[in-house]
Every structure is written in C-alpha cells, then in structure tokens.
Amino acid sequence: MFDPTTIDLRILRERAYNLRWATVPEGVIPLTAADPDFPSAPEIAEAICRFAKDRYLCYGPPEGLPEFKESMAGHYQAKRNLSIAPGNVFPVDSAAFGIYLTCRAFLRPGDEAIIFDPVDFLFRYSIESVGGTAVAFPIPPGDAPVDFQRLENSITQRTRLLCLCNPLNPTGKVFTKAELLCFGELACKYDLTILSDEIWSDIVYPPQIYTSIASLGEEISARTVTVTGFSKSYGLAGLRIGAVMATDADRFKKLMDASLHHPTIHGANVLSQVAATAALKECGYWLTGFLTHLHAMRNLVVGALNSIPGFACHSPEGCYVAFADISRTGKTSAAMRDLLFDKARVAIVPGLKEWFGEGAQGYIRISFATSEEIMQTALSNIKKTMQHL
C-alpha cells in the first residue's frame, strides 16, 4: 500500500496544492505541507460514490450527521478512553476551522490565549483573528522538562484559553499523562478553557502512548474543547473535514452558536462526513499500514539528517515531520530553504516566525509522508548539497 508504485505523481502535480506538487517546478520534491503523497484508502472513495449515486445531496443537520457523530464518539471511547456522547461531537469543515471556532467562542477582544512555541501558525492566526493576544510559551525541541512554573507565571487576569497541540507540530513531541495533568490542573486553578488540538493523535510511534487530556477526569474534561481532523491520518485534506468535541453543555452550545451552522452560513459538507465516517469504521487497517511505513521513514530521515554536518534532529515521538536544527551550518532557516530549493531541488518549510513562532528560528521542517524512494532521493540531494558547500 505504501510502496512507490502507489504514488501517482501525474495526479499529484495537478491536484496537490498548499506548497506541494502542483505549486513547485518540475524536478523539485516538496517535503512541505504535511499531506501524504499516498492515495487515500479505497473504502473512502467507495463510500463517497455510494452516497453520491443516489443524486440526493440535500442539506444535512446543522449539528452533523448522526452516523458521523456516533462513529467519532465510539472512536474516542475505544481509542482514547474518553466518554463523549454523540450529541457532544460537532463536525466542522476542518481542524483549522475548529481552532478558529474555539477562539471565536471563548475569546473576546483583549483576552489572552497561551500557545506553544514553536507550534503551527494556525493558533496565533486564529487568536489574533478574533482580537485576542497570543502569549507564547516555549517548549523547545528535545527532552527538556516542560517548565510549568514559567507557564503559571505567564497566566494573567486576561488569560482565557490554554491551547495544546498534542502531538506537537512541528517538534513531534507527545505529551505524557503527567504533563497533561499539570496542564489540566493549571487550567482548573485559573478557570481556563483548554483547546486540545489532537489532529496528529493517530500518528504516534511506539513505545510512546497517546493520552487525550479530556480523558483525565471530569473537571478537566468539562473545560476541554478537543479539536481533530482527517487530513493527517487519512489524507483527506481536500475534503475539509474535522470535528470539535466538548463534554460540557454550556461550552458545546457556545461552539454551536459561534459556528453559524444553524443559519447555514457555515457547515460540514455531507460527503466529507460520509468519507470521514468510512475512514473511522473501515480504514483502521490502512492507518495501521501507514503508521508502520511512517515509523520506518522517521528512522530513515532522522538518521540521514543527523549524518549531515551542521544538522541535528531529535527523533519525533509523533507527527510525520522532522524538525532539524540547522543553526550550526551558519545559515538562517530562510537561507537554507533557498539553498535546498535551488541546489538540492527539495522544498522544505523554514522555521520562520510566521509559520511556527520565534522558537522555530534556526530550524527547518521536513515532511516524510512519502515513499522510501522519494525520501531517499530528497535526502541524498540534501546531503550532496551540504557536502559541496
């Protein structure tokens, strides 16, 4: 399923946008936006076709299709030990919208929200879009303990939201249960809502074990909004489908009201909900195979990057991105992006503030959700380029 023959570069060059194959010149390998090069599981296309062939594509319920809500609740109960009623699962048109929606529901202009640094730009972007202030809390790549005292010191009278990204894109950190309990206790102490972005939670490499913060007791669960999506685990980014979940009735109502689903201004596409339901119900085998392949790619990429003079890369515990420290090459992240693009013919994401925050400076991010063949070519091009400097 995950060998080079399954990847159709002709189709990717026509369809894969967001810094990927359709946006780079011929000959450049885009290890940029974290979106797999592999086609999605066949059961997903079959489910979409079955639904579409009746030719009734009516309005769906604003709160989401019952089968989607039930599958999500079942999945979170079985895989994350989180008791959530189907009625408290709300499909939205992406995890990105889920993050934005949570900010819109829980932040007023002038409020503060704590975000990790580095972390995906979507957090800062969403907070600032609703007039809030993003307060960066450093979690540098590596094994250093999370500085909870510093986190507590950064909480003020205006802090309303604590934003978790677990596993953490771009560093690949997977938070332990003990760390999550500390986040939860601080949220309870200061009456904060927790936004837990868990879009990467299926992509965790053994022996690491994933914990959903909302599974850590009623008090923490009640103040948590869990956000997830289907772009990473199942390669459905173009379907724009995700979900927000909240066990607390008041918080759930705030999300529904802020979503504008009831007046039909926004809503989760019915076909996308059908596809996501099929992913959860029928595609576990595909995800298992994908994870096995990614595990091998992670080891390959980390080993290769660490053999390049001036590069240093921690092994990510989750996500399919490697976040390499390139500061000892003497180049900035942007200069390295340009060098690798021009000479190695490989596109990467530079550790710029606008992508990941201040803490990403001196790093580059490389996605490895591709075939071993493409990965080997890209890594060998990068290595040759750095050796010939």
Ligand X SMILES: Cc1ncc(COP(=O)(O)O)c(C=O)c1O
Q: Which residues bind ligand X (CB under 6 A)?
A: 34, 94-96, 120, 122, 165, 169, 197, 199, 229, 231, 237, 242
Smallest CA-to-CA distance from 26 within 9, 38, 39, 5 is with 9
Tell me how far, at minimum, the Cβ of 389 lies from ligand X, in Å.
Answer: 31
Identity of the residue, 173 or 223, whose beta carbon is nearer to ligand X in the bound complex: 173
Gap between the Cα atoms of 340 and 328, Å rounded: 16
**For ligand X, which is the closer residue by CB, 134 or 308?**
134
Nearest-CB residue to ligand X? 229
Which residue lies nearer to ligand X by CB, 246 or 386? 246
Q: Quick one: how far is CA 103 from the chain centroid?
A: 17
> What's the longest Cα–Cα distance across the chain?
60
Closest approach of ligand X to the CB of residue 99, in Å:
6
CB of 119 to ligand X, least distance (A): 7
CB 172, CB 210: distance < 8 Å? no
Query: Which residues partner with 165 through β-bridges?
Result: 197
CA–CA gap between residue 126 and residue 111 (Å, rounded): 13
The single residue listed with the structure tokens 């996501």 is 276
Q: How far is the CB of 120 from ligand X (least distance, A)?
A: 4
Q: CB of residue 157 vs ligand X: minimum separation in angstroms?
A: 28
Nearest 10 degrees: CA dihedral of 70, 73, 74, 78?
A: 180
Asked if residue 316 lies in contact with residue 172, where contact means CB atoms within 8 angstroms, the answer is yes
Closer by beta carbon to ligand X, 308 or else 347: 347
Q: Which is nearer to ligand X, 63 or 197 (CB)?
A: 197
Nearest to 274 by CA among 326, 237, 239, 323: 239
Considering beta carbons, is residue 231 or 247 the nearer one to ligand X? Answer: 231
Task: Give the nearest distance from C-beta 319 to ligand X in angstroms.
Answer: 8
